[in-house]
Chain A
Amino acid sequence: MIFALLRRLGQMLFVMFGISMLVFLIFFATPGADPAARIAGRNATPEVLEAVRKSFGFDQPIYVQYATMMKKIFITGDLTSFVNRGWKVVPAVLDTIPVTLSLVIGAAVLWVIFGLLIGIIAAATRGSWVDKLLMVLGLIGISMPVYWLGEMMNLITQSRYHDTWMFSWVPPLGYKNLSDDPKGWFLTLVIPWITLSILYIGLYGRVLRASIIESLQEDYIRTARAKGLSETRILLRHALRTSLISFVTLFGLDFGALVGGSALLTEVVFGLQGVGKLTYDALQNLDLPIIMTTVMYASFFVVMANALVDIVYILLDPRVRTS
C-alpha cells in the first residue's frame, strides 16, 4: 500500500512537470509570434518590450527561460502584469481563491445532497413514473449550458421577477466577503450555487441510479435478502454503500476541476471575482502573465486533487486497502 501511495505521488509530480512544460510551450514557444510582444499586451512601447525580454530571459537558452518562468510563478512570486502596469500577479490570484471556494463548496453541498436523493429515490422506484420523471429532469439538467442557465436566472431574479416577493431578497450581482458580511455573502451566492449545482445534480443522480441498479443485480444482494433484511436497508447499506465508492471518486474529480477553473462560466455570469473571472478578464485584456499564473496554479490544484481522490479511494475500498 505504501508503495502504491508513493507511486501515485511520483505520477502526480510527473504530471505537474508535464503540465508546466505544456504551459511553457503554449505561451513561450508557439511558432509564428514573438512571446515578448504577447506578454507585453497590445500597443506596447519598445521599452516595455525590452523590459519583458530581459525579465523573462528571452535572449537566453530555452531551458533557462523555463526555469525563469517557474521561478517567477512559484518561488519569488514577483511576476508582474504589463497590461495593468506593475500589478503583482501572484497575490492577485491568491486573493480570488476564497471567492471560487465559496462558490464551489456551496454548490457541492447542494449537488451531493440532491444528487444522492435523486439517485436513491430513482433507484428505489425504478421503472415507475417517479423514476422516469427524475431521469428526464436530470437529463435536462446536464443538457443546459451553465452560463446560459445563469443568465436566465439573472433575468428572472434580477429583472423580471425581482420586484415580486419571491426574488426581492436577491442582492445585486457581485461578491461579499464572508468575514465582513456573512448574510450578504450567503444571499449573493444562493442563485450562483443553484445554477452551478444543477448540472451536477443531474449527472450524479443519473450515475448513482445506474450504479445502485447495477449493484442490485449482484449476488450479495440476494444474500442480503435471504438474511431477511428490509428493502430499505438492502438499498442503503448494501447497494448504495458499494456504489458510493465511485460516487466519492467522481465527486473529488469534479470538485477539483471546478476549483481549478471550471467554475469560470458561473463566475463570469454572476460577476464573482474568482479565479475563473480573473482569467476571463485577463483574456479580454490579453494579460498573459495572469493567465499563465492562474492556469499553472489551477492545474496543479487539479492534479493534487486527483491524487488525493485516488488516495481516498484506496482508503474507502477495503479490497484495495488491504491487498
Chain B
Amino acid sequence: MLKVTGLNVSFRTEQGLVRAVENVSFDVAEGELMGIVGESGSGKTVSLLAVMGLITDPNAIITGSIAYRGRELVGLPSKEMRKLRGREIAMIFQDPMTALTPVYTIGWQIAEQILAHEKVSKQAAWQRAIDLLAEVNIPNPGEAVHRYPHQLSGGMRQRVVIAMALSCNPALLVADEPTTALDVTVQAQILDLVAKLRRNHGSAIVFITHDMGVMAEIADRMMVMYAGRVVERGSKEELFLSPRHPYTQALLDSIPPLVGARPRRLRTIPGTPPNLLNRPAGCAFAPRCPQRFEKCSADPQLPAGARAAACFRVNP
C-alpha cells in the first residue's frame, strides 16, 4: 500500500548540503508492521516526516517517489495531502509531553481531528472521542475528555495521542519512537496497546525505534538505517537470527539476551555516526566496523529484493 522508492531528503544549510536521507526504498503491505531501526540521526524520522508531508523547512529538498495506494505523494498539492493526513495516514510522536496543545481539553483535540475530516455533528465527534479513550484503556473516559494535557501522565498522554491517531480509522499508522520517552513499565503497556489496536483496526504500521528489543516484540518486517541509508532489510526472524550487516550484528550484540546467562558486560559500538555534512567516501559504517577491509572505501550498494544488506562482506 505504501511504496517508497529512491527517497532523498537534503537540507541546505550555511555550511553546505546535509543529506539526511539518501536513496531509501521500502514498501509496506496492508496490515503489516514494518519496523525501522537506527540510531538518532540515521534519517529514520526524516523519512517518515517526508511520507507524512510534514517537512515544512523551506531549505529542504525532497526527491524520489512515495506512492500511497498508487497515489504519488511527493509534489502532491498541500490541500490534497492535508485530506490524507489524519484520515488515511496518521502519526504518533515520540514525546507525548509536548505533542498536545496545552490550552485545549483532550476531548476537544480528538473531536477537532474527526470534525476536520468527517461530516458528523459535534456531539457525535465527542462521543467518538470518549469511545476512543475507552479503547486505549484510559480509565473513566467520560470524565477524561474534559481534562487538559498537563493533568495526565506521560503514558496517559501517549494513549491520547494514539487515540487521536486512530480517530479516523487510518489505513496507515506512522509511529515515531512512541515508547522512547516513557518508563519501562509504561512502554510495555503501550506496545501491548499497539498490538491490540492492530488486530482491531487492521491498520498497517510503520514503527520507528532505536530499540531492538521493541522490534523483537512487534515487527513483521524490518529495515536498519545508518547515516541516512538503508543498510539491511528482511523479515524480523531473518534479521534477528541471521543478521548480515556488521551494524545490525552490533545492534543485536548491544541488547541484553532475554534468556540464558547475562554477559558480564554488554557490547557497545565504538565511535560515533558520521557527520552527514562531510560524509566520508565509502561505507559510512566502515570507521566503526570490526570487519572492514580494502573494499569498504567504495560505496556499498543495497541489492534489490526483500532480503538484502549493503555490505561488501555479504555481496562481494
Tell me the A residues contacting B by CB distance below 8 Å. 127, 218-220, 222-231, 233, 237-238, 241-242, 245, 317-319, 322-323
Nearest-neighbour CB distance to chain B for A89, whole angstroms, equals 46
Q: A319 with B148: in contact, given A220-B99, A226-B91 (CB under 8 Å)? A: yes
Q: A226 with B98: in contact, given A318-B103, A322-B148 (CB under 8 Å)? A: no
Q: A319 with B102: in contact, given A223-B161, A227-B116 (CB under 8 Å)? A: yes
Q: A218 with B87: in contact, given A223-B93, A228-B117 (CB under 8 Å)? A: no
- Find the residue from A222, A227, A242, A322 having the highest chain B CB count within 10 A: A227
Interface residues on chain B, size class: 20 to 34
Chain B residue with minimal CB distance to A244? Answer: B103
Nearest-neighbour CB distance to chain A for B1, whole angstroms, equals 18
Instruction: State which of A218, A219, A228 has its C-beta within 8 Å of the C-beta of B84.
Output: A228
Q: Indicate with 1 or 0, residue by residue over B113-150, a CB within 8 angstroms of chain A CB atoms.
A: 10011000000000000000000000000000000101
Number of A-B pairs, beta carbon distance below 8 Å:
78
Nearest-neighbour CB distance to chain A for B177, whole angstroms, equals 13
Q: Are A222 and B93 in contact (CB under 8 A)?
A: yes
Tell me whether B20 is interfacial, beta carbon within 8 Å: no
Q: Are B102 and A229 in contact (CB under 8 A)?
A: no
Tell me whether B112 is interfacial, beta carbon within 8 Å: yes
Residues in B whose Cβ lies below 8 Å from that of A218: 98
Residues in B whose Cβ lies below 8 Å from that of A322: 148, 150-151
Nearest 3 A/B pairs, CB to CB: A228-B86, A228-B85, A219-B98
Residues in B whose Cβ lies below 8 Å from that of A318: 102-103, 148, 150
Nearest-neighbour CB distance to chain A for B95, whole angstroms, equals 6
Taking A228-B87, A242-B101 as given, write out 9 further A-B residue pairs in contact, using a Cβ cutoff of 8 Å, ordered by the A residue number.
A220-B99, A222-B99, A223-B164, A224-B101, A227-B164, A229-B113, A230-B82, A241-B104, A322-B150
- Find the residue from A222, A230, A238 having the highest chain B CB count within 10 A: A222
Q: Which of B54-88 contact A (CB under 8 A)?
A: 54, 56, 58, 78, 82-87
Nearest-neighbour CB distance to chain A for B273, whole angstroms, equals 24
Q: Roughly how many angstroms separate A224 CA and B113 CA in the complex, as a whole number?
A: 8
Residues in A whose Cβ lies below 8 Å from that of B18: none
Q: Are B85 and A319 in contact (CB under 8 A)?
A: no
Q: A219 with B164: in contact, given A226-B86, A228-B117 (CB under 8 Å)? A: no
Nearest-neighbour CB distance to chain B for A154, whole angstroms, equals 44
Q: Roughly how many angstroms separate A228 CA and B170 CA in the complex, as a whole number?
A: 12
Nearest-neighbour CB distance to chain B for A219, whole angstroms, equals 4
Q: Roughly how many angstroms separate A319 CA and B100 CA in the complex, as a whole number?
A: 13
Instruction: State which of A220, A230, A233 has its C-beta within 8 Å of the C-beta of B100.
Output: A220
Instruction: State which of B58, B90, B112 has its C-beta within 8 Å of the C-beta of A226.
Output: B90
Residues in B whose Cβ lies below 8 Å from that of A219: 93, 95, 98-99
Q: Roughly how many angstroms separate A222 CA and B85 CA in the complex, as a whole number?
A: 12
Q: Which of B277-300 contact A (CB under 8 A)?
A: none
Q: Are A227 and B93 in contact (CB under 8 A)?
A: no
Q: Are B54 and A241 in contact (CB under 8 A)?
A: no
Tell me whether B52 is interfacial, beta carbon within 8 Å: yes
Residues in B whose Cβ lies below 8 Å from that of A233: 116
- Find the residue from B52, B58, B95 having the highest chain A CB count within 10 A: B52
Residues in A whose Cβ lies below 8 Å from that of B113: 227-229
Residues in A whose Cβ lies below 8 Å from that of B102: 220, 242, 318-319
17 contacts between A and B (CB under 8 A): A218-B98, A220-B99, A222-B99, A223-B99, A223-B161, A223-B164, A225-B56, A226-B52, A226-B85, A226-B91, A228-B84, A228-B116, A229-B82, A229-B113, A231-B78, A241-B101, A318-B102
